[in-house]
Amino acid sequence: MISRRNFLKNTALGIAGGALSLAAFEIVDPKKLMAMEAADKAKLRWVFLVDTYKCVGCGLCVKACKQENETPYDSSVTRTWVERYVLTKDGKVHADTPKGARDGFTTSKIDLGMGKMEEINNADIDKAFFVPKLCNQCDNPPCVQVCPVGATYQAPDGVVLVDRTWCIGCGYCIMGCPYGVRFFHPVYHTAEKCNFCYHRISKGLKTACVQACPFGARQIGNIKDPNDPVTKIIMTERVGVLKEEYGTKPQVFYIGLDKEVR
């Protein structure tokens, strides 16, 4: 049995310890830690809008991105890509992204990898569509959180960048991204991903993929500007985001996002 003295002593210590940790929590205020106040006051925050009804899977965006951003053309990795989803009457979902759709989709057969293709009868299709993907420049980027050296970071305007001179190549950010947008650059060997063509948008140009898309399926805008046409659509029309359950707060919005999209 614990003595009264020891009980009182331990309780006092417990309360003191608890109070100290709670005080520390105030000092380490999450809001300040993530500078959420600064983000609220900013005038520029880049966001992206994808219309999956308009995308036809031509892949011209992927080609333009690779050439603009100097990702090796014949390499499997790409900063952006387009996925195809074909839903057949038997309830099955067939999806593929041959070379990231760099050459478009020029066959109705689904690429199953390992050289295998699956024939789909057009009559069996319930619905099918194309979904362009790129870095979501999340508001809570899990890739930035796990970088051990501060090589990847979020710029004040929301774009997540990678410092090629500081990246040690551990790959933690690549494993940390739920969307699979990151990869090791085949030439520079540092982590790499879409950065909304930061060198273009900072000069008032559109990103290479937005400019290249003939169908207007891709658009970029500033969510802090209420007059931006992209902002207007996001605020007044029904839009979705990818994998919301991870809490990353992605900033690429989709019109016509189907439940089957991965």
Residue 158 Cβ, how far from another protein at the closest point, in Å?
Answer: 9
152 binds another protein (CB under 8 A): yes
Closer to another protein by Cβ: residue 201 or 230: 201
262 binds another protein (CB under 8 A): yes
- DSSP-assigned letter for residue 149: S
Element (H, E) at 191: strand 191-192
Q: List the one residue from 155, 233, 239, 241 that touches another protein (CB under 8 A).
A: 155
Residue 186 Cβ, how far from another protein at the closest point, in Å?
Answer: 4
Continuous H helices in 109-220: 142-145, 172-176, 198-201, 208-212
Cα–Cα–Cα angle for 108, 69, 192, rounded to 5 degrees: 90
Site for another protein in 102-131 (CB under 8 A): 103-108, 112-115, 122, 125-130
Q: List the one residue from 16, 168, 229, 244 that touches another protein (CB under 8 A).
A: 168
Residue 67 Cβ, how far from another protein at the closest point, in Å?
Answer: 5
**Residues 6+ away with beta carbon under 8 Å from 73:** 66, 67, 102
Q: Where are the beta strands (DSSP E) in 97-171?
A: 110-113, 116-118, 125-133, 152-154, 160-162
**Which of the ranges 11-19, 134-142, 220-228, 232-240 carries the binding residues for another protein, by CB under 8 A?**
134-142
195 binds another protein (CB under 8 A): yes
Residue 112 Cβ, how far from another protein at the closest point, in Å?
Answer: 6
223 binds another protein (CB under 8 A): no
17 binds another protein (CB under 8 A): no
Closer to another protein by Cβ: residue 7 or 73: 73
For residues 103 and 71, give the distance between their C-alpha atoms in angstroms, rounded to a whole number. 15
For residues 155 and 35, give the distance between their C-alpha atoms in angstroms, rounded to a whole number. 12
Site for another protein in 39-98 (CB under 8 A): 39, 42, 52-60, 63-64, 67-70, 72, 74-78, 81, 86, 93, 95-97
Residue 2 Cβ, how far from another protein at the closest point, in Å?
Answer: 23
Q: Are strands 160-162 and 152-154 parallel, antiparallel or unpaired?
A: antiparallel
Cα–Cα–Cα angle for 29, 35, 38, rounded to 5 degrees: 135
| Inter-residue contact 134 to 181 (CB < 8 Å) | yes
